[in-house]
Amino acid sequence: MNEATPGGLQVARRGAVALLTMDRPPVNGLGAALRLALAQALDEALADPAVRAIVLAGSARAFSGGADVTEFGTPAAAREPRLPTLIGRLEDSPKPVVAAIAGVCLGGGLELAMGCHFRVARSDASLGLPEVKLGLLPGAGGTQRLPRLVGLERALNLIVSGAPAPAASFAGTALVDALVEPSAPGDVVEAAVAFAETVLAEGRAPRRTRALPVEHPQAEAFLQFARHSVAAAAGPFPAPRRCVEAVALSVTRPVDEALRLEREAFLALMATPESRALRHVFAAERAAARLPDLPPDTAPRPIASVAVIGAGTMGGGIAMSFLNAGLPVVLLEQTQAALDRGVATIRRNYESSAKKGKLSAEEMARRLARLTPTLQDEALREVDLVVEAVFEDLGVKEAVFRRLDALCRPGAILATNTSYLDVNRIAAFTTRPADVVGLHFFSPANVMRLLEVVRAAHTAPEVLATSLALARRLGKIAVVAGVCDGFIGNRMLARYGAAAHDLLVAGATPQQVDGALQRFGLAMGPFRMGDLAGLDIGWATRKRRAAEAGVPMRPVIADRLCEAGRFGQKTGAGWYRYEAGRREPLPDPVTEGLIAQFRDEHGVTPRAVSDAEVVERCLYALVNEGARILEEGIAARASDIDLVYLNGYGHPLHRGGPMFHAETVGLPNVVRALRRFAAEPAADPSWTPAPLLLRLAEAGRGFGG
Residue ranges that bind ligand NAD, judged by CB under 6 A? 309-315, 332-334, 338, 389-392, 396, 400, 417-419, 441-443
- The closest of 626, 629, 638, 640 to 289, measured between CA atoms, is 640
In the complex, minimum distance from the CB of residue 110 to ligand NAD, in angstroms, rounded to a whole number: 42
Which amino acid appears at position 14 of this protein? Answer: R
131 labelled catalytic: yes
All residues at 6 or more sequence positions from 550 whose CB lies less than 8 Å from its CB, including other chains: none
- Residue closer to ligand NAD (CB basis): 192 or 529: 529
SS3 annotation, 281-330: HHHHHHHHCCCCCCCCCCCCCCCCCEEEECCCHHHHHHHHHHHHCCCCEE
**Most distant pair of Cα atoms in the chain: their distance:** 94
In the complex, minimum distance from the CB of residue 531 to ligand NAD, in angstroms, rounded to a whole number: 14
Helices (H) and strands (E) in the chain, counts: 28, 19
- Residue closer to ligand NAD (CB basis): 10 or 313: 313
C-beta neighbour count of 584 within 10 angstroms: 8
Residue 195 and residue 119: Cα distance in Å, rounded?
A: 9
Q: Catalytic: which of 111, 262, 388, 452?
A: 111
In the complex, minimum distance from the CB of residue 702 to ligand NAD, in angstroms, rounded to a whole number: 31
Contact 308/389 with Cβ under 8 angstroms? yes
- The closest of 626, 609, 612, 615 to 652, measured between CA atoms, is 615
- The closest of 355, 306, 321, 267 to 466, measured between CA atoms, is 306
Contact 223/244 with Cβ under 8 angstroms? yes
- Residue closer to ligand NAD (CB basis): 404 or 667: 404
In order of 149, 323, 419, 569, 704, the CA distances from 160 in angstroms are 16, 34, 40, 39, 31
- Residue closer to ligand NAD (CB basis): 419 or 459: 419
All residues at 6 or more sequence positions from 173 whose CB lies less than 8 Å from its CB, including other chains: 149, 150, 151, 154
In the complex, minimum distance from the CB of residue 429 to ligand NAD, in angstroms, rounded to a whole number: 13
CA 119 to chain centre: 33
- Residue closer to ligand NAD (CB basis): 59 or 345: 345
- Residue closer to ligand NAD (CB basis): 320 or 389: 389
548 labelled catalytic: no
- Residue closer to ligand NAD (CB basis): 364 or 396: 396
All residues at 6 or more sequence positions from 271 whose CB lies less than 8 Å from its CB, including other chains: none
Burial 519-543 (b: 16+ CB within 10 A, else e): ebbbebbbbbbbbbbbbbebbeebe
In the complex, minimum distance from the CB of residue 571 to ligand NAD, in angstroms, rounded to a whole number: 17
3-class DSSP assignment, residue 539: helix
Q: Catalytic: which of 91, 131, 245, 274?
A: 131
In the complex, minimum distance from the CB of residue 406 to ligand NAD, in angstroms, rounded to a whole number: 14
In the complex, minimum distance from the CB of residue 440 to ligand NAD, in angstroms, rounded to a whole number: 6
For ligand NAD, the nearest residue by Cβ is 312
- Residue closer to ligand NAD (CB basis): 175 or 314: 314
In order of 279, 671, 694, the CA distances from 700 in angstroms are 22, 12, 10
In the complex, minimum distance from the CB of residue 369 to ligand NAD, in angstroms, rounded to a whole number: 22
Q: Where in 89-195 does DSSP place strands (E)?
A: 97-101, 104-106, 118-122, 126-128, 165-166, 178-180
Residue 450 and residue 32: Cα distance in Å, rounded?
A: 36
- Residue closer to ligand NAD (CB basis): 442 or 598: 442
C-beta neighbour count of 610 within 10 angstroms: 11
In the complex, minimum distance from the CB of residue 471 to ligand NAD, in angstroms, rounded to a whole number: 15
Which residues are part of the catalytic machinery?
111, 131
